[in-house]
């Protein structure tokens, strides 16, 4: 459909898509921001929003990267789909007349909005650590019952009658897949409909390449060390990794442990530089947010989550091993109390030494 035709149809569009188009019309250059160390959902939704804004309203855009692209899958996604990113420190806010934040919100701890940027667009599905704080950005589409921000962005395409490119469709579909564990967790009607809409345009070869990338030998070494530190308390698995080299190991170990028979909640943490990162996974009523809130009570940290997945971080004085050990013990105690297995005996995964 031509932009003129879309404009003509705009009065019939459902409210949010229409409001987004109205805001984008007349804008020239948009800056898209997301959280630090973007995950597939934030990469997918930012690519999708940029393509949508260009197709619908000829808005040019840049995507600012803060932090790094961590998991091998995410790096493969960037390579396969040609996702172009500008390091945040090279961004000049004065170059943009529109700022969008996807898969996170202003004020969230793992999110940097450069000084001088006022945010026009927020598209997200997370509950923040203070649900009473609600922003008043000109366009705000925050739906916590939806599994992925990529589903919200796909819905704008569908409702406005635009077709995503195969790269954009693949990115959005992979964003939905990862945030909903292949449409099995945190999944709503809107996610299913978005995935159905995207699927005919998805490059399935690229999608498979992204899902199963090659891994360096060092990855398996780190994984081996991490598995040594796993402790089981009935249906709960804890893994306090201490100091680690790569932050992605925290979430990867958490994902892996939730697949262990009999395990229904996982808490994994590790220190990288001066930040202690935590990941929570649960199948107990799907409320990872409550578990991480309980675990981090009293700590000076930030966290967020939805459904069965949550994550957070706590700043620590650098190089202080005793403070690190104490923090790990406090977090473990809190989580065991929260899931009701306080006082249970711990067992390791077991090997010939134990
Ligand atoms: Mn997400």
DSSP 277-314: EEEEEE-STT-HHHHHHHHTTTSSEEEEEETTEEEEEE
DSSP, collapsed to helix, strand or coil, labels residue 146 as coil
Per-residue pLDDT at 2: 52
Ligand 1 centroid vs 179 CA: distance in angstroms? 6
Cα(275) to ligand 1 centroid in Å equals 22
How far, in Å, is the centroid of ligand 1 from the Cα of 305?
9
Question: What is the pLDDT, as a whole number, of residue 130?
Answer: 73
CA distances (Å), origin 155, targets 142, 162, 179, 317, 345? 13, 10, 16, 44, 48
Residue 177 Cα, ligand 1 centroid: separation in angstroms? 10
> Quick one: DSSP state of residue 40?
H
User: Would you say 283 and 264 are in contact if contact means Cβ atoms under 8 Å apart?
Assistant: yes
Ligand 1 center from residue 44 Cα (angstroms): 9
Distance 210 CA to ligand 1 centre (A): 17
Separation CA 112–CA 109 (nearest Å): 8
Ligand 1 center–CA 39 separation, angstroms: 8
Q: What is the CA(249)–ligand 1 centre distance, in A?
A: 19
Distance 239 CA to ligand 1 centre (A): 24
pLDDT at 133: 76
What is the pLDDT at residue 55?
98
Sheet holding 230-233, edge to edge: 230-233, 236-243, 265-272, 275-282, 309-315, 301-306
**71 vs 64: CA distance, rounded Å:** 18
Domains of the chain: 3-211 (3.90.1640.10), 218-338 (3.10.310.40)
Measured distance CA(283)–CA(263) in Å, rounded: 9
* CA 149 to ligand 1 center in whole angstroms: 5
What distance in angstroms lies between residue 151's CA and the mean position of ligand 1's atoms?
9
What is the per-residue pLDDT for 18?
Answer: 96
Whole-number Å distance, alpha carbon 32 to ligand 1 midpoint, is: 15
For 346, other C-beta atoms within 10 Å of its C-beta total: 14
264-288: pLDDT as tens digits:
999 999 999 899 999 999 987 768 9
In angstroms, what is the span from residue 175 Cα to ligand 1's centroid? 7
Question: Ligand 1 centroid vs 312 CA: distance in angstroms?
Answer: 14
User: Please, what is the Cα angle at 109 between 128 and 333, to 5 degrees?
Assistant: 75
- pLDDT (tens digit, 0 to 9) for every residue of the chain, 354 residues total? 555 444 445 456 789 999 999 999 999 999 999 999 999 999 999 999 999 999 999 999 999 999 999 889 999 999 999 999 999 999 999 999 999 999 999 988 789 999 989 999 999 999 876 767 788 899 999 999 999 999 999 999 999 999 999 999 999 999 999 999 899 988 999 999 999 999 999 999 999 999 999 998 888 988 999 999 999 999 999 999 999 988 889 999 999 999 999 999 999 999 998 999 999 999 877 689 999 999 999 999 989 887 888 999 999 988 889 999 999 999 999 999 999 998 889 999 875 444
The SS3 of residue 339 is: coil
């Amino acid at each position: 459909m031509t932009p003129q035709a879309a404009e003509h149809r705009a009065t019939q569009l459902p409210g949010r898509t229409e409001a987004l188009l109205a805001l984008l019309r007349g804008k020239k250059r948009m800056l898209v921001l997301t959280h630090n160390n973007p995950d597939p959902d934030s990469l997918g939704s930012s690519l999708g929003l940029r393509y949508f804004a260009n197709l619908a309203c000829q808005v040019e855009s840049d995507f600012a990267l803060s932090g790094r692209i961590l998991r091998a899958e995410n790096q493969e996604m960037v390579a396969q789909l040609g996702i172009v990113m500008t390091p945040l420190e090279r961004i000049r806010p004065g170059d943009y007349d529109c700022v969008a934040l996807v898969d996170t919100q202003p004020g969230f701890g793992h999110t940097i909005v450069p000084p001088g940027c006022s945010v026009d667009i927020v598209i997200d599905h997370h509950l923040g650590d203070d649900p009473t704080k609600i922003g008043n950005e000109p366009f705000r589409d925050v739906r916590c019952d939806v599994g992925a921000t990529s589903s919200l962005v796909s819905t704008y395409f569908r409702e406005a009658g635009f077709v995503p490119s195969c790269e954009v469709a693949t990115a959005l579909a992979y964003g939905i897949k990862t945030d909903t564990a292949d449409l099995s967790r945190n999944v709503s009607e809107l996610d299913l409909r978005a995935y159905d809409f995207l699927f005919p345009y998805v490059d399935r070869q690229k999608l498979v390449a992204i899902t199963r990338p090659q891994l360096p030998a060092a990855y398996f070494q780190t994984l081996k060390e991490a598995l040594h530190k796993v402790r089981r308390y009935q249906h709960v698995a804890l893994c306090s990794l201490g100091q680690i080299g790569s932050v992605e190991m925290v979430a990867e170990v958490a994902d892996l442990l939730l697949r262990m028979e009999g395990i229904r909640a996982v808490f994994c943490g590790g220190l990288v530089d001066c930040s202690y990162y935590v990941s929570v996974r649960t199948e107990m009523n799907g409320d990872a947010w409550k578990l991480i809130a309980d675990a981090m009570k009293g700590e000076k940290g930030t966290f967020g989550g939805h459904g069965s997945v949550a994550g957070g971080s706590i700043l620590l004085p650098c190089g202080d091993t005793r403070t690190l050990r104490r923090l790990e013990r406090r977090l473990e105690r809190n989580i065991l109390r929260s899931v009701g297995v306080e006082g249970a005996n711990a067992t390791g995964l077991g090997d010939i030494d134990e």
